[in-house]
Structure 1
Amino acid sequence: MHTDIQLQTEDPAARDSLLLMEELSTALEAITGDSGNASFDANDVYGPAGCFVVARDASGHALGCGALRPLEPGVAEIKRMYARHGTSGVGSAVLRFLEDEALAMGYQAVWLETRLVNRRAVDFYEARGYQRIANYGKYIGNPLAVCFEKQLPTP
């Protein structure tokens, strides 16, 4: 990982946050045919049970983002994970930050959904210790969706 990646929580309505999420939506649309926009509500990440993080380089340029929202007791959901094309270590850094935040907020596990056709994402999460679980919520019965869980270490 690059040590010059700066991670901090930011407002999902801020300019860089919106720009990163727009890039993500465009990329997802190209890969899966669905931007994923309907599955994210910025209001879910405000408050003490969620957050939105932006990764920046040493010059302050936005490189990637991710969100954490409460899903059910003890479980947070990771949303809007994105690292700009050509960056290295950004996705891993954002994911680690979100996992650490979830642990600090008292969650026992994090869940997420991606599309089976998005092989890069599936491989990325599996390589980072995520296990496939039964599809949850709006993804139940959707054969295009794949859901993952990672148990967080108990403090």
Structure 2
Amino acid sequence: MTEFTIEKADPEHPDAIVLQAALSKTLEAMTGSSGAQAFNHRDVKVEGARFLLARDAGGRAVGCVACRPLEPGIVEIKRLFALPGSRGAGRALLRHIEAFARDYGYREAWLETRRSNPAAVDFYLRNGYRIIENYGRYVGQQDAVCFARTLGETDYAERA
């Protein structure tokens, strides 16, 4: 598996903007919604939030992820994306953002994806997330599926 360097970044860094645009385009084509309206750069520039980039061995930005405080003890993971061909970057980003959240003191990570994105649904299930009731802005959205994972758990399947 390819090794990646994971680094803290500003969500408005040019590399971050390019990756978020690629994610929005991918989601729009797949689900009919870019998901961009559910993400605000300011949300990940506050205490307890983080934005990360993954870079390949050549230094090229190949993935991103963000997290923000949702409610006491719960962090929300947002905008996880890895470019096609960067196998393992998504998992590396997820593990790094979970480690940040756990070390910061969050007990759980929550996130939302779309049922019309079965690869994402499968990815989160493989990585120890469980489906929960839709929360917040996702309540009543039929295509939304929400997940949670207790931070610090290591009983997820590490399937490639």
Which residue identity is paired with 2:35? Answer: G
Question: Which ranges in structure 2 are unaligned for 5 or more consecutive residues?
Answer: 154-160
Q: Does 1:2 align with 2:2?
A: yes
CA distance in 2, matches of 1:47, 1:147: 23
How far the C-alpha of 1:151 sits from its partner, in A, is: 0.4
How far the C-alpha of 1:66 sits from its partner, in A, is: 0.3
Contact map agreement 1:40 1:79 (CA 8 A) in 2: yes
CA distance in 2, matches of 1:130, 1:97: 15
Aligned to 1:81: 80
CA distance in 2, matches of 1:57, 1:115: 27
Which residue identity is paired with 1:40? Answer: F
Percent identity (aligned): 47
TM-score, reference length from structure 2 = 0.93
How far the C-alpha of 1:153 sits from its partner, in A, is: 2.1
Q: Which secondary structure does the structure 1 equivalent of 2:120 belong to? A: helix
How far the C-alpha of 1:104 sits from its partner, in A, is: 1.1
Which residue identity is paired with 2:147? Answer: F
Which residue identity is paired with 2:87? Answer: S
Q: How many residues align?
A: 153
CA distance in 1, matches of 2:47, 2:99: 14
Aligned to 2:121: 122
Which residue identity is paired with 1:110? Answer: A
How far the C-alpha of 1:86 sits from its partner, in A, is: 1.3
Q: Does 1:32 align with 2:37?
A: no
Query: What does residue range 1-150 of structure 1 map to in structure 2 within 5 Å?
Result: 1-3=1-3, 5-150=4-149
Which residue identity is paired with 1:2? Answer: T
Q: Which secondary structure does the structure 1 equivalent of 2:53 belong to? A: strand
Q: Which secondary structure does the structure 2 equivalent of 1:34 belong to? A: coil
Contact map agreement 1:48 1:105 (CA 8 A) in 2: no
Which residue identity is paired with 2:106? Answer: Y
Which residue identity is paired with 2:2? Answer: H
Q: Considering only aligned residues, what root-mean-square deviation do their CA atoms show, in Å? A: 1.0
How far the C-alpha of 1:110 sits from its partner, in A, is: 0.3
Question: Which ranges in structure 1 are unaligned for 5 or more consecutive residues?
Answer: none
